[in-house]
Amino acid sequence: MPGDGRVRGPHQEVAREEALAAELIRRIEEERRLAREIRPAPGAPARHRIERCRNDNARALRVMVDRHGWPTAELVGEPASTAALMILLHAPDLGFQLLCRDLIAEAAADGGCPTVHHAYIADHCAVELGQPQFYGTRIDPATLTPYPLRHPQTVDERRHDVGLGPLGEHLRTLRSGLRTKGF
């Protein structure tokens, strides 16, 4: 553990980073498996299972963040850093999400993780706080329109800056995909 007085070699650091990466990916894959499993029968027991999984994942992520900081792409690789973001977006604790939003913003500014990660968590937190979102990544499932946007006339510029395509194209693709699936 950092600060415990022991000297660590590069092999120990790599092993720790690989273990963190494997844990994050294992957790998000388990959540996805559960979500697919319960989709055909979304009753209360199924919702409870996915909620328990998400709570466990959030607790594990909090421990990782407390010990190592945000699991950046630099630290654990981009797939595991993306898994951490997905866990965070499903975490039940807005305070923890806000803390991580700031850590992700710093990491993205320093090149430690993709800027799109910050876009997703920034929008998530804004919507949860009842504020307009910046990038249009949060879509109201009832209307298939974005939750309110801050300066909607420039949203596509902001989306482009973080590697997202135009919002209109995203909405057309989303709606078309749902129609194809019969929704």
Residues 76-94: pLDDT tens digits? 999 999 999 999 999 999 9
Residue 179: predicted pLDDT: 64
Q: What angle do CA 159, 160, 161 make, to 5 degrees?
A: 90
Asked whether residue 127 falls in the same domain as residue 88, the answer is: yes
Q: Give the pair of three-digit tokens for residue 76.
A: 């654990």
Terminal alpha carbon distance of the chain? 49
Asked whether residue 63 falls in the same domain as residue 107, the answer is: yes
Identify which of 69, 52, 59 has the alpha carbon closest to the alpha carbon of residue 17. Answer: 69
Asked whether residue 23 falls in the same domain as residue 77, the answer is: yes
* 82: containing domain: 10-131
Q: Give the pair of three-digit tokens for residue 79.
A: 């797939």
Residue 181: predicted pLDDT: 61
pLDDT band at residue 101, thresholds of 50, 70 and 90? very high
The domain total for the chain is 2
Q: Is residue 175 part of a domain?
A: yes
Identify which of 59, 77, 69, 57 has the alpha carbon closest to the alpha carbon of residue 14. Answer: 77
Asked whether residue 124 falls in the same domain as residue 183, the answer is: no
Q: Is residue 144 part of a domain?
A: yes
Asked whether residue 94 falls in the same domain as residue 118, the answer is: yes
Asked whether residue 112 falls in the same domain as residue 40, the answer is: yes
Residue 46 has pLDDT above 50, yes or no: yes
Burial of 93 (0-12, 13-18, 19+ CB in 10 A): middle
Q: Is residue 2 part of a domain?
A: no
Could you give the CA distance from residue 83 to residue 89 in angstroms, rounded to a whole number? 10
Q: Is residue 23 part of a domain?
A: yes
Q: Is residue 3 part of a domain?
A: no
Residue 65: predicted pLDDT: 97
Residue 57: predicted pLDDT: 97
Q: Is residue 43 part of a domain?
A: yes
Asked whether residue 110 falls in the same domain as residue 71, the answer is: yes
Asked whether residue 127 falls in the same domain as residue 89, the answer is: yes
Residue 17 has pLDDT above 90, yes or no: no
Select from 131, 152, 174 the last residue of a domain.
Answer: 131
Asked whether residue 118 falls in the same domain as residue 152, the answer is: no
| Whole-number percent of the chain with pLDDT over 90 | 77
Give a three-class secondary structure readout of the chain. Answer: CCCCCCCCCHHHHHHHHHHHHHHHHHHHHHHHHHHHHHCCCCCHHHHHHHHHHHHHHHHHHHHHHHHHCCCCHHHHCHHHHHHHHHHHHCCCCHHHHHHHHHHHHHHHHCCCCCHHHHHHHHHHHHHHCCCCECCCCCEECCCCEECCECCHHHHHHHHHHCCCCCHHHHHHHHHHHHHHCCC
Predicted model pTM: 0.86
Select from 131, 150, 166 the last residue of a domain.
Answer: 131
Residue type, 17: E
Residues 139-175: pLDDT tens digits? 999 999 999 999 999 999 999 999 999 999 999 998 8
Residue 10 has pLDDT above 60, yes or no: no
Asked whether residue 118 falls in the same domain as residue 48, the answer is: yes
pLDDT band at residue 12, thresholds of 50, 70 and 90? low
Mean pLDDT of the chain: 90
Asked whether residue 183 falls in the same domain as residue 105, the answer is: no
Residue type, 18: E
Mean pLDDT in residue range 51-68: 96
